[in-house]
Protein backbone atom coordinates (compact mmCIF):
# COMPACT_ATOMS: atom_id res chain seq x y z
CA UNK A 1 0.00 0.00 0.00
CA UNK A 2 1.34 3.43 -0.90
CA UNK A 3 0.71 6.42 1.33
CA UNK A 4 -2.20 8.57 0.18
CA UNK A 5 -1.88 12.01 1.71
CA UNK A 6 -3.94 15.12 1.91
CA UNK A 7 -2.12 18.43 1.51
CA UNK A 8 -2.84 21.97 2.68
CA UNK A 9 -5.81 23.30 0.70
CA UNK A 10 -4.57 26.87 0.27
CA UNK A 11 -1.18 28.51 0.75
CA UNK A 12 -0.23 32.16 0.56
CA UNK A 13 3.50 32.88 0.64
CA UNK A 14 5.40 36.15 0.66
CA UNK A 15 6.52 39.12 2.72
CA UNK A 16 3.53 41.07 3.98
CA UNK A 17 1.07 38.24 3.25
CA UNK A 18 -0.09 38.38 6.90
CA UNK A 19 -2.14 41.43 5.79
CA UNK A 20 -4.31 39.07 3.75
CA UNK A 21 -5.38 37.11 6.84
CA UNK A 22 -8.41 39.39 7.33
CA UNK A 23 -9.96 38.66 3.95
CA UNK A 24 -9.12 34.97 4.35
CA UNK A 25 -10.94 34.59 7.68
CA UNK A 26 -13.97 36.51 6.38
CA UNK A 27 -14.59 33.77 3.79
CA UNK A 28 -15.40 31.47 6.76
CA UNK A 29 -17.32 33.94 8.93
CA UNK A 30 -20.74 32.32 8.37
CA UNK A 31 -19.71 28.93 9.72
CA UNK A 32 -20.84 27.57 13.11
CA UNK A 33 -21.33 30.35 15.68
CA UNK A 34 -19.82 32.98 13.39
CA UNK A 35 -16.81 34.03 15.44
CA UNK A 36 -13.08 33.44 15.03
CA UNK A 37 -10.74 31.87 17.55
CA UNK A 38 -7.22 33.30 17.28
CA UNK A 39 -4.62 31.28 19.21
CA UNK A 40 -1.50 33.41 19.43
CA UNK A 41 1.98 32.86 20.88
CA UNK A 42 2.23 34.93 24.05
CA UNK A 43 5.49 36.40 22.71
CA UNK A 44 3.36 38.65 20.49
CA UNK A 45 1.28 40.10 23.33
CA UNK A 46 1.78 43.87 23.23
CA UNK A 47 3.89 43.61 20.05
CA UNK A 48 3.04 45.25 16.74
CA UNK A 49 1.79 41.99 15.22
CA UNK A 50 -0.90 41.69 17.92
CA UNK A 51 -2.43 44.96 16.67
CA UNK A 52 -2.54 43.57 13.15
CA UNK A 53 -4.62 40.49 14.10
CA UNK A 54 -7.83 40.93 12.09
CA UNK A 55 -10.18 40.21 15.00
CA UNK A 56 -13.69 41.66 15.21
CA UNK A 57 -15.50 42.43 18.47
CA UNK A 58 -17.18 39.00 18.60
CA UNK A 59 -13.91 37.10 18.04
CA UNK A 60 -11.81 35.44 20.73
CA UNK A 61 -8.07 36.18 20.85
CA UNK A 62 -6.15 33.91 23.22
CA UNK A 63 -2.48 34.50 23.96
CA UNK A 64 -0.79 31.26 24.96
CA UNK A 65 2.53 30.80 26.72
CA UNK A 66 4.39 27.95 25.03
CA UNK A 67 7.56 28.23 27.11
CA UNK A 68 6.49 26.20 30.14
CA UNK A 69 5.63 22.98 28.35
CA UNK A 70 4.78 21.58 24.92
CA UNK A 71 1.06 21.26 24.08
CA UNK A 72 -0.83 18.85 26.32
CA UNK A 73 -4.14 17.02 25.95
CA UNK A 74 -5.37 18.72 29.12
CA UNK A 75 -4.58 22.15 27.67
CA UNK A 76 -6.45 21.38 24.43
CA UNK A 77 -9.51 20.07 26.27
CA UNK A 78 -9.60 23.18 28.45
CA UNK A 79 -9.39 25.61 25.51
CA UNK A 80 -12.17 23.72 23.72
CA UNK A 81 -14.39 23.54 26.81
CA UNK A 82 -13.87 27.19 27.83
CA UNK A 83 -14.54 28.57 24.34
CA UNK A 84 -17.54 26.31 23.79
CA UNK A 85 -19.04 27.41 27.09
CA UNK A 86 -18.49 31.14 26.61
CA UNK A 87 -18.94 31.60 22.86
CA UNK A 88 -19.92 28.33 21.16
CA UNK A 89 -18.19 26.75 18.19
CA UNK A 90 -15.91 29.06 16.20
CA UNK A 91 -16.14 29.52 12.46
CA UNK A 92 -12.41 28.93 12.28
CA UNK A 93 -9.36 28.47 14.52
CA UNK A 94 -6.27 30.45 13.54
CA UNK A 95 -2.90 29.54 15.07
CA UNK A 96 -0.27 32.31 14.97
CA UNK A 97 3.02 31.00 16.34
CA UNK A 98 5.51 28.16 16.08
CA UNK A 99 5.06 24.41 16.09
CA UNK A 100 3.49 24.55 19.55
CA UNK A 101 0.77 27.03 18.62
CA UNK A 102 0.13 25.43 15.23
CA UNK A 103 -0.33 22.04 16.91
CA UNK A 104 -2.68 23.63 19.44
CA UNK A 105 -4.74 25.17 16.62
CA UNK A 106 -4.90 21.88 14.72
CA UNK A 107 -5.85 19.85 17.79
CA UNK A 108 -8.42 22.35 19.08
CA UNK A 109 -10.07 22.52 15.66
CA UNK A 110 -10.56 18.73 15.72
CA UNK A 111 -11.77 18.67 19.31
CA UNK A 112 -14.63 21.10 18.63
CA UNK A 113 -16.32 18.34 16.62
CA UNK A 114 -15.08 15.19 18.36
CA UNK A 115 -16.49 14.41 21.81
CA UNK A 116 -14.53 13.66 24.95
CA UNK A 117 -10.89 14.24 25.78
CA UNK A 118 -8.21 14.65 23.11
CA UNK A 119 -6.40 11.78 24.92
CA UNK A 120 -8.85 9.41 23.25
CA UNK A 121 -7.61 10.38 19.82
CA UNK A 122 -3.83 10.22 20.22
CA UNK A 123 -2.79 7.94 17.39
CA UNK A 124 -3.45 7.34 13.71
CA UNK A 125 -6.95 7.88 12.27
CA UNK A 126 -8.77 7.77 15.58
CA UNK A 127 -10.54 11.11 14.97
CA UNK A 128 -14.14 10.46 13.89
CA UNK A 129 -15.26 13.74 12.29
CA UNK A 130 -13.59 16.60 10.38
CA UNK A 131 -12.72 19.56 12.60
CA UNK A 132 -13.62 23.21 12.08
CA UNK A 133 -11.75 25.25 9.46
CA UNK A 134 -8.21 25.93 10.64
CA UNK A 135 -5.47 28.26 9.51
CA UNK A 136 -1.76 28.10 10.35
CA UNK A 137 0.45 31.18 10.46
CA UNK A 138 4.00 30.14 11.36
CA UNK A 139 6.17 32.65 13.21
CA UNK A 140 9.18 30.34 13.58
CA UNK A 141 10.19 27.87 10.90
CA UNK A 142 11.55 24.36 10.92
CA UNK A 143 9.18 21.84 12.47
CA UNK A 144 7.07 21.46 9.34
CA UNK A 145 4.00 21.58 11.61
CA UNK A 146 2.48 23.97 9.06
CA UNK A 147 2.16 21.13 6.55
CA UNK A 148 2.07 17.92 8.59
CA UNK A 149 -0.96 15.74 9.25
CA UNK A 150 -0.27 15.54 12.97
CA UNK A 151 -0.79 17.67 16.05
CA UNK A 152 1.71 16.42 18.63
CA UNK A 153 0.29 16.33 22.16
CA UNK A 154 1.66 15.17 25.47
CA UNK A 155 -0.95 13.25 27.41
CA UNK A 156 -0.87 11.44 30.73
CA UNK A 157 0.14 8.22 28.99
CA UNK A 158 1.84 9.13 25.76
CA UNK A 159 3.37 11.87 23.64
CA UNK A 160 1.63 11.21 20.38
CA UNK A 161 -0.10 13.18 17.67
CA UNK A 162 -3.72 13.41 16.64
CA UNK A 163 -2.87 12.13 13.21
CA UNK A 164 -5.34 12.03 10.34
CA UNK A 165 -6.24 13.79 7.10
CA UNK A 166 -8.42 16.31 8.90
CA UNK A 167 -5.49 17.51 11.01
CA UNK A 168 -3.90 19.20 7.97
CA UNK A 169 -4.51 22.95 7.82
CA UNK A 170 -7.13 24.21 5.37
CA UNK A 171 -5.01 27.32 4.82
CA UNK A 172 -1.52 28.47 5.71
CA UNK A 173 -0.14 31.99 5.56
CA UNK A 174 3.64 32.00 5.10
CA UNK A 175 4.98 35.49 5.74
CA UNK A 176 8.78 35.51 6.25
CA UNK A 177 8.51 38.90 7.99
CA UNK A 178 7.04 37.08 10.98
CA UNK A 179 10.13 34.99 11.72
CA UNK A 180 12.60 37.90 11.83
CA UNK A 181 12.38 38.25 15.63
CA UNK A 182 13.10 34.59 16.47
CA UNK A 183 15.96 34.39 19.02
CA UNK A 184 19.17 33.09 17.50
CA UNK A 185 19.26 29.79 19.44
CA UNK A 186 15.67 28.91 18.40
CA UNK A 187 16.43 29.98 14.83
CA UNK A 188 19.13 27.32 14.95
CA UNK A 189 17.43 24.51 16.87
CA UNK A 190 14.10 24.77 15.05
CA UNK A 191 15.79 25.19 11.68
CA UNK A 192 17.83 22.07 12.42
CA UNK A 193 14.57 20.15 12.86
CA UNK A 194 14.07 20.65 9.13
CA UNK A 195 17.63 19.64 8.37
CA UNK A 196 17.25 16.48 10.45
CA UNK A 197 13.84 15.69 8.88
CA UNK A 198 15.55 15.69 5.49
CA UNK A 199 18.59 13.65 6.55
CA UNK A 200 16.34 11.05 8.17
CA UNK A 201 13.84 11.03 5.33
CA UNK A 202 16.66 10.43 2.85
CA UNK A 203 18.42 7.70 4.85
CA UNK A 204 15.93 4.91 5.16
CA UNK A 205 13.92 2.29 3.36
CA UNK A 206 10.91 4.53 2.67
CA UNK A 207 12.88 7.17 0.76
CA UNK A 208 11.56 7.55 -2.77
CA UNK A 209 11.82 9.96 -5.70
CA UNK A 210 8.95 12.06 -4.35
CA UNK A 211 10.30 12.48 -0.78
CA UNK A 212 13.82 12.84 -2.18
CA UNK A 213 12.91 15.78 -4.42
CA UNK A 214 11.60 17.75 -1.44
CA UNK A 215 14.50 16.74 0.84
CA UNK A 216 17.11 17.61 -1.77
CA UNK A 217 15.73 21.12 -2.24
CA UNK A 218 15.16 21.67 1.47
CA UNK A 219 18.72 20.53 2.28
CA UNK A 220 20.10 22.87 -0.36
CA UNK A 221 18.23 25.77 1.25
CA UNK A 222 19.40 24.73 4.75
CA UNK A 223 23.00 24.64 3.52
CA UNK A 224 22.65 28.16 2.11
CA UNK A 225 21.02 29.42 5.33
CA UNK A 226 23.40 27.79 7.82
CA UNK A 227 26.63 27.24 5.86
CA UNK A 228 26.79 29.42 2.74
CA UNK A 229 28.74 32.66 2.23
CA UNK A 230 25.60 34.58 3.10
CA UNK A 231 24.57 32.32 5.98
CA UNK A 232 22.88 33.74 9.06
CA UNK A 233 19.61 35.21 10.18
CA UNK A 234 18.90 37.58 7.29
CA UNK A 235 15.70 38.50 5.48
CA UNK A 236 16.80 36.60 2.39
CA UNK A 237 17.53 33.49 4.45
CA UNK A 238 14.21 33.80 6.29
CA UNK A 239 12.47 33.65 2.89
CA UNK A 240 14.33 30.40 2.27
CA UNK A 241 13.85 28.91 5.73
CA UNK A 242 10.08 29.14 5.48
CA UNK A 243 10.14 27.16 2.26
CA UNK A 244 12.75 24.71 3.55
CA UNK A 245 10.56 23.96 6.57
CA UNK A 246 7.54 23.25 4.39
CA UNK A 247 9.51 21.06 2.01
CA UNK A 248 11.25 19.18 4.85
CA UNK A 249 7.81 18.45 6.27
CA UNK A 250 6.57 17.21 2.92
CA UNK A 251 9.63 15.03 2.51
CA UNK A 252 9.08 13.21 5.78
CA UNK A 253 5.37 12.91 5.04
CA UNK A 254 6.18 10.82 1.98
CA UNK A 255 9.02 9.01 3.75
CA UNK A 256 9.64 8.84 7.52
CA UNK A 257 11.86 10.18 10.28
CA UNK A 258 14.43 7.92 11.94
CA UNK A 259 16.82 7.30 14.81
CA UNK A 260 17.19 10.92 15.93
CA UNK A 261 13.45 11.49 16.23
CA UNK A 262 13.04 8.17 18.05
CA UNK A 263 15.57 9.30 20.67
CA UNK A 264 14.19 12.81 20.75
CA UNK A 265 10.72 11.50 21.62
CA UNK A 266 12.26 9.63 24.56
CA UNK A 267 13.97 12.80 25.81
CA UNK A 268 10.81 14.87 25.46
CA UNK A 269 8.51 12.36 27.10
CA UNK A 270 10.69 11.50 30.10
CA UNK A 271 12.61 14.74 30.69
CA UNK A 272 10.35 17.28 28.99
CA UNK A 273 13.16 18.39 26.64
CA UNK A 274 11.73 20.43 23.78
CA UNK A 275 11.47 18.73 20.40
CA UNK A 276 13.94 20.70 18.27
CA UNK A 277 16.50 21.08 21.05
CA UNK A 278 16.21 17.36 21.88
CA UNK A 279 16.82 16.54 18.23
CA UNK A 280 20.01 18.60 18.21
CA UNK A 281 21.24 16.95 21.43
CA UNK A 282 20.67 13.49 19.96
CA UNK A 283 21.75 14.12 16.38
CA UNK A 284 25.17 15.36 17.52
CA UNK A 285 26.01 11.76 18.55
CA UNK A 286 24.51 9.78 15.69
CA UNK A 287 27.45 9.63 13.29
CA UNK A 288 27.10 5.80 13.16
CA UNK A 289 23.75 6.26 11.46
CA UNK A 290 24.06 9.55 9.59
CA UNK A 291 27.79 10.20 9.14
CA UNK A 292 27.68 12.95 6.48
CA UNK A 293 24.72 14.72 8.03
CA UNK A 294 26.21 14.76 11.51
CA UNK A 295 29.52 16.05 10.15
CA UNK A 296 27.78 18.91 8.39
CA UNK A 297 25.63 19.59 11.47
CA UNK A 298 28.76 19.95 13.59
CA UNK A 299 30.17 22.47 11.12
CA UNK A 300 26.97 24.49 11.42
CA UNK A 301 27.12 24.36 15.23
CA UNK A 302 30.68 25.70 15.15
CA UNK A 303 29.94 28.33 12.52
CA UNK A 304 27.06 29.80 14.50
CA UNK A 305 28.70 29.33 17.92
CA UNK A 306 25.74 27.37 19.25
CA UNK A 307 26.03 25.83 22.69
CA UNK A 308 24.98 22.21 22.87
CA UNK A 309 25.41 20.65 26.29
CA UNK A 310 27.57 17.53 26.55
CA UNK A 311 27.65 14.64 29.01
CA UNK A 312 24.02 15.11 29.98
CA UNK A 313 23.58 11.40 30.61
CA UNK A 314 25.92 11.62 33.61
CA UNK A 315 23.05 13.23 35.47
CA UNK A 316 20.39 10.72 34.42
CA UNK A 317 19.43 7.71 36.51
CA UNK A 318 19.43 4.21 35.04
CA UNK A 319 15.65 4.19 35.44
CA UNK A 320 15.32 7.38 33.40
CA UNK A 321 17.58 6.01 30.66
CA UNK A 322 15.57 2.78 30.50
CA UNK A 323 12.31 4.73 30.40
CA UNK A 324 13.60 6.90 27.54
CA UNK A 325 14.84 3.84 25.65
CA UNK A 326 11.44 2.20 26.00
CA UNK A 327 9.68 5.26 24.58
CA UNK A 328 12.10 5.19 21.62
CA UNK A 329 11.80 1.45 21.06
CA UNK A 330 8.03 1.82 20.86
CA UNK A 331 8.27 3.85 17.65
CA UNK A 332 8.59 0.90 15.27
CA UNK A 333 7.76 2.91 12.13
CA UNK A 334 10.89 5.04 12.68
CA UNK A 335 13.20 2.07 13.30
CA UNK A 336 11.66 0.18 10.44
CA UNK A 337 12.49 3.05 8.10
CA UNK A 338 15.96 3.79 9.51
CA UNK A 339 17.22 0.24 10.00
CA UNK A 340 14.98 -1.99 7.90
CA UNK A 341 12.23 -4.54 8.49
CA UNK A 342 14.67 -6.70 10.48
CA UNK A 343 15.36 -3.84 12.90
CA UNK A 344 14.40 -5.93 15.92
CA UNK A 345 17.41 -8.15 15.21
CA UNK A 346 19.68 -5.12 15.46
CA UNK A 347 18.01 -2.72 17.88
CA UNK A 348 17.05 -3.55 21.46
CA UNK A 349 16.00 -1.47 24.45
CA UNK A 350 19.54 -2.07 25.77
CA UNK A 351 21.21 -0.85 22.58
CA UNK A 352 19.03 2.28 22.65
CA UNK A 353 20.07 2.82 26.27
CA UNK A 354 23.62 2.81 24.95
CA UNK A 355 22.71 5.60 22.52
CA UNK A 356 21.24 7.67 25.35
CA UNK A 357 24.40 7.15 27.41
CA UNK A 358 26.37 8.87 24.61
CA UNK A 359 24.44 12.11 25.10
P1 LIG B 1 7.66 26.82 19.64
O2 LIG B 1 6.33 27.08 19.03
O3 LIG B 1 7.70 25.88 20.77
O4 LIG B 1 8.33 28.21 20.06
C5 LIG B 1 9.69 28.25 20.50
C6 LIG B 1 9.99 29.59 21.11
O7 LIG B 1 10.05 30.60 20.11
C8 LIG B 1 8.95 30.07 22.10
O9 LIG B 1 9.61 30.71 23.15
C10 LIG B 1 8.14 31.07 21.30
O11 LIG B 1 7.48 32.00 22.12
C12 LIG B 1 9.20 31.69 20.45
N13 LIG B 1 8.76 32.33 19.22
C14 LIG B 1 7.97 31.85 18.24
N15 LIG B 1 7.89 32.70 17.21
C16 LIG B 1 8.66 33.77 17.56
C17 LIG B 1 8.98 34.98 16.91
N18 LIG B 1 8.58 35.27 15.67
N19 LIG B 1 9.79 35.85 17.57
C20 LIG B 1 10.27 35.57 18.79
N21 LIG B 1 10.00 34.44 19.45
C22 LIG B 1 9.21 33.54 18.83
O23 LIG B 1 8.70 26.39 18.54
P24 LIG B 1 8.81 25.25 17.47
O25 LIG B 1 10.19 24.74 17.61
O26 LIG B 1 8.36 25.77 16.15
O27 LIG B 1 7.77 24.15 17.90
C28 LIG B 1 8.04 23.08 18.76
C29 LIG B 1 6.77 22.30 18.90
O30 LIG B 1 6.39 21.77 17.65
C31 LIG B 1 6.85 21.11 19.85
O32 LIG B 1 5.70 21.11 20.66
C33 LIG B 1 6.84 19.90 18.94
O34 LIG B 1 6.24 18.77 19.53
C35 LIG B 1 6.02 20.42 17.79
N36 LIG B 1 6.30 19.74 16.52
C37 LIG B 1 5.24 19.45 15.74
C38 LIG B 1 5.42 18.83 14.52
C39 LIG B 1 4.23 18.49 13.69
O40 LIG B 1 4.40 17.94 12.61
N41 LIG B 1 3.04 18.79 14.09
C42 LIG B 1 6.69 18.54 14.07
C43 LIG B 1 7.77 18.87 14.88
C44 LIG B 1 7.57 19.49 16.11
ZN1 LIG C 1 10.99 17.01 14.03
Q: Give the H/E segment covering residue 142.
A: none
| Ligand 1 centroid, distance to 70 Cα (angstroms) | 9
| Numbered ranges of CATH 1.20.1090.10 in the chain | 184-358
| Ligand 2 centroid, distance to 63 Cα (angstroms) | 24
Alpha carbons 256 and 192: distance in angstroms, whole number? 16
Alpha carbons 113 and 111: distance in angstroms, whole number? 5
Q: Is 41 in the pocket of ligand 1 (CB under 6 A)?
A: yes
Q: Which ligand is nearest to the CA of 142?
A: 1
- Does the structure show a pLDDT above 90 at 80? yes
Q: Which atom of ligand 1 is nearest to the CA of 148?
A: 40
DSSP three-state, residue 161: strand
Output Rg (C-alpha) for the chain, integer angstroms.
20
Smallest Cα–Cα separation from 279: which of 247, 301, 304?
Answer: 301
Q: Which atom of ligand 1 is nearest to the CA of 159?
A: 34
- Does the structure show a pLDDT above 90 at 69? no
| Ligand 2 centroid, distance to 254 Cα (angstroms) | 14
Q: Note the pLDDT of residue 119.
A: 97
- Name the DSSP class of 6: -
Task: Write out the DSSP string of 78-104.
Answer: HHHHHHHHHT-S-SEEEEEESHHHHHH
Q: Which atom of ligand 1 is nearest to the CA of 193?
A: 43
Residue among 53, 110, 275 whose CB has most ligand 1 atoms within 8 A, to mutate: 275
- Name the DSSP class of 72: B
Alpha carbons 119 and 159: distance in angstroms, whole number? 10
DSSP three-state, residue 173: strand
Confidence band for 159, pLDDT divided at 50, 70 and 90:
confident
Alpha carbons 106 and 90: distance in angstroms, whole number? 13
Q: Cα–Cα distances in Å, from 73 out to 61, 62, 81, 150, 278?
A: 20, 17, 12, 14, 21
**Model pLDDT for residues 300-323, shown as the tens digit of each residue:** 999 999 989 989 999 999 999 999
Confidence band for 149, pLDDT divided at 50, 70 and 90:
very high
Q: Is 248 in the pocket of ligand 1 (CB under 6 A)?
A: no
* β-pairing verdict for 133-138 and 123-124: unpaired
Q: Is 99 in the pocket of ligand 1 (CB under 6 A)?
A: yes
- Does the structure show a pLDDT above 90 at 3? no
- Given a contact cutoff of 8 angstroms between Cβ atoms, the answer to whether 38 and 55 are in contact is yes
Q: Note the pLDDT of residue 68.
A: 87
Closest residue to atom 40 of ligand 1, CA basis:
145
Closest residue to atom 33 of ligand 1, CA basis:
275
Q: Which atom of ligand 1 is nearest to the CA of 138?
A: 15
Confidence band for 156, pLDDT divided at 50, 70 and 90:
confident
Alpha carbons 74 and 96: distance in angstroms, whole number? 20
Considering the segment(s) 10-179 as one domain, its CATH architecture is 3-Layer(aba) Sandwich (3.40)
Q: What is the mean pLDDT of the chain?
A: 96
* Cα 263 from chain centre: 16
Q: Is 48 in the pocket of ligand 1 (CB under 6 A)?
A: no
CATH class of 184-358: mainly alpha
Q: Is 43 in the pocket of ligand 1 (CB under 6 A)?
A: yes
**Model pLDDT for residues 114-128, shown as the tens digit of each residue:** 999 999 999 999 999
Q: Is 170 in the pocket of ligand 1 (CB under 6 A)?
A: no
Q: Which ligand is nearest to the CA of 183?
A: 1
Closest residue to atom 24 of ligand 1, CA basis:
99
| Ligand 1 centroid, distance to 240 Cα (angstroms) | 18
* Cα 61 from chain centre: 22
- Name the DSSP class of 250: H
Cβ neighbours of residue 179 closer than 8 Å, sequence gap 6 or more: 138, 139, 140, 141, 187, 238, 241, 242
Alpha carbons 14 and 326: distance in angstroms, whole number? 43
Q: Which ligand is nearest to the CA of 201?
A: 2
- Given a contact cutoff of 8 angstroms between Cβ atoms, the answer to whether 175 and 137 are in contact is yes
Alpha carbons 105 and 150: distance in angstroms, whole number? 11
Cβ neighbours of residue 55 closer than 8 Å, sequence gap 6 or more: 36, 38, 61
Amino acid sequence: MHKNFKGIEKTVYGRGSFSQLGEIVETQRNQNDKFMLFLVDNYFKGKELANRIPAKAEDVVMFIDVDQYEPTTEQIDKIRDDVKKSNGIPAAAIGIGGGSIMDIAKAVSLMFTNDGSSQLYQGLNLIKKPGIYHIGVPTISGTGAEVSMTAVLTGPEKKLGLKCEWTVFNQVVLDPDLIASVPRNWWFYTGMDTYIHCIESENGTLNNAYSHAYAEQSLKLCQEIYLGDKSGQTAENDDKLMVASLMGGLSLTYSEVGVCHALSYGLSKILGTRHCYANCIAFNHLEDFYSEGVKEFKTMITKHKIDLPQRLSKNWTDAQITAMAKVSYNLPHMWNHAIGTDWKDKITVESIEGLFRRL
